[in-house]
Amino acid sequence: MPIKLHGYPQPDICDELLDAALQPRPAARVLFDYVNRLGTAELMARRASVDAAIMAMGITFTVYSDAGNIDRVWPFDIIPRTMSLKEWAHIDAGLKQRLTALNLFIDDLYNAQRIVKDGVFPLEVLAGSQNFRAQCRGLTPHFGVWAHVCGTDLVRDKDGTVYVLEDNLRVPSGVSYMLENRQLMKRLFPELFKSSDILPVDDYPTRLYDTLAALSPRPGERPVIVVLTPGIYNSAYFEHSYLAQKMGAVLVEGSDLVVQSDDCVYMKTIAGVSRVDVIYRRVDDDFLDPEAFRPDSSLGVPGLMRAWRAGKVGIANAPGAGVADDKVVYTFVPQIIKYYLDQDPLLPNVPSWMCMYDDQRDHVLANLDKLVVKPANESGGYGMLIGPRASVEERRQFADLIRANPRNYMAQPTLSISTAPTLFGDRFEPRHIDLRPFVLQSKDLHVTAGGLTRVALRAGSLVVNSSQGGGSKDTWIVNTREA
């Protein structure tokens, strides 16, 4: 019995797998034919087996709440998002262009600040940045790269345009779930991976290792790489331990490391101390080094900035990279690309208004019922207002926040974000999705073939973050002659 569709058609919303006539798009045709041949009972049985595997494998994330930290099983939908290789090639090029320009921008801000002096990037935006680290002034890391791992969030509007929603340049997460989603799908639909040309993502741990290894201050030797985690109560701890294991790196906390008088970083072991060459840090700047940043931090390593400045250790992402991870800075990325690369952006930004400018703030305040308003430095979907779904009182309170601190807010139109069929019971229902590809840069530049597709599992919701009820899908970049 074929799977039923419920909630289709959708006026003014683009679906990733189904066209306006509710026929599968070319990149999804083999998948839909296969799923319909399986039938409802078999598909639901396979979904149950995947859910059991997720439980057995302990694939979890942590949600912070007033009641304490709660570990939840990773919510996974078994119907993948598909995209043609032809379309993906353009996105791949656009992501590489974007990260190249952003790294040039970060390096410029900590050195000559040409983009400010030339009037392209406003001094007042830089002055109001919460993530600019004066401790990094005058530094240029290996290859001029500050953000070695970037998770860029993409959305598709109703007309089919793919927009960049935001750049995550501090400690982007989610790649472990991308990798585990693919392994689950191979167990679920092994026949499809034999009959379809689906681009692999399994090489990411090797790519990440090579990206990190290139930062070693001892290039003639096999580098000692560690993953620095805040600990087991961090929401992304599963990912920290997962990536350390996959790369053959050592998972450490701040108390496991020490900076000695030679400005080198050492790891404490039962046999003594062992020098560390590269740190893949999953700790925010503020907590990274109590000598340089917050003196009350117990998560970091005293003297770590001193070791990094001396060139005795590589750190990814570099301290200070978050200066470009700001939703107000985001609005300037098209100009940043043009300034440093003399190119037009291949991937457009979502049109945006900056509340720090009087005329744009007036427009936002007059249209709060139509806009999405975001704070500059929050993540995870927190602290933002979705105007069309907010109450009058919520909009009034947000207007007060904007007036009190306009530099901290920007606004965007409420997009008709694309959907994908998602399995609920014995039927497919449309759910809004985004896509987070991961871009690696040090000596080389690499983009994952696809990324983590996040799903707003609540009907009608636009919030895809796992901490607020979202789930995920595997992402298939399919090489077909038609697609």
What tokens appear for 121 in the block? 């990037």
Tell me the C-alpha distance between 454 and 354, whole Å: 27
Round the CA-based radius of gyration of the chain to a whole number and report it.
23
CA end-to-end span of the chain:
27
Instruction: Name the one residue in this structure whose structure tokens are 């990260």.
Output: 99
Closest CA to 151 of 441, 479, 461: 441
CB 242 within 8 A of CB 227: no
Give ranges for CATH 3.40.50.11290 in the chain: 218-312
Residue 76: DSSP 8-state: B
The long-range contacts involving 257-262, CB below 8 angstroms and separated by at least 24 positions, are: 257/226, 257/228, 257/301, 257/304, 258/301, 259/301, 259/302, 259/303, 259/304, 259/306, 259/307, 262/312
3-class DSSP state of 455: strand
For residue 472, how many C-alpha atoms fall within 13 Å in the half-sphere facing its CB?
31
pTM: 0.92
CB 465 within 8 A of CB 380: yes
CATH fold of the domain at 353-413: Dna Ligase; domain 1 (3.30.1490)
Q: Residue 39: its pLDDT value, please?
A: 83
Q: In degrees to the nearest 10, what's the CA dihedral of 168, 77, 243, 269?
A: 120
pLDDT in tens, 428-459: 999 999 999 999 999 999 999 999 999 998 88
Tell me the C-alpha distance between 466 and 464, whole Å: 6
| Phi-psi sector, 462: left (phi>0), alpha (psi -120 to 50), beta | alpha
What tokens appear for 232 in the block? 């087991």
pLDDT in tens, 292-341: 999 999 999 999 999 999 999 999 999 999 999 988 999 999 999 999 99
Positions of the chain with pLDDT under 50? 1, 64-67, 483
> What number of other Cβ atoms are within 10 A of residue 7's Cβ?
16
Q: Are strands 278-281 and 225-228 parallel, antiparallel or unpaired?
A: parallel
Q: Residue 90: its pLDDT value, please?
A: 98
Q: Residue 147: its pLDDT value, please?
A: 98
List the beta strands (DSSP E) in 11-135. 60-63, 70-73, 81-84
pLDDT in tens, 109-162: 999 999 999 999 999 999 989 999 999 999 999 999 999 999 999 999 999 999
Q: DSSP for 143-191, please give it.
A: GG-S-SEEEEEEEE-TTS-EEEEEEE-SS---HHHHHHHHHHHHHH-HH
Q: Residue 459: its pLDDT value, please?
A: 86
CATH fold of the domain at 218-312: Rossmann fold (3.40.50)
List the beta strands (DSSP E) in 437-467. 438-441, 445-447, 452-455
Residue 73, phi then psi, degrees to nearest 5: -70, 140
Give ranges for CATH 3.30.1490.270 in the chain: 353-413
CB 17 within 8 A of CB 81: yes
Q: Are strands 60-63 and 70-73 parallel, antiparallel or unpaired?
A: antiparallel
| Phi-psi sector, 287: left (phi>0), alpha (psi -120 to 50), beta | alpha
Q: Residue 65: its pLDDT value, please?
A: 47
Q: Dihedral sign, CA of 19, 21, 27, 32?
A: positive
- 362, containing H or E segment: helix 358-366
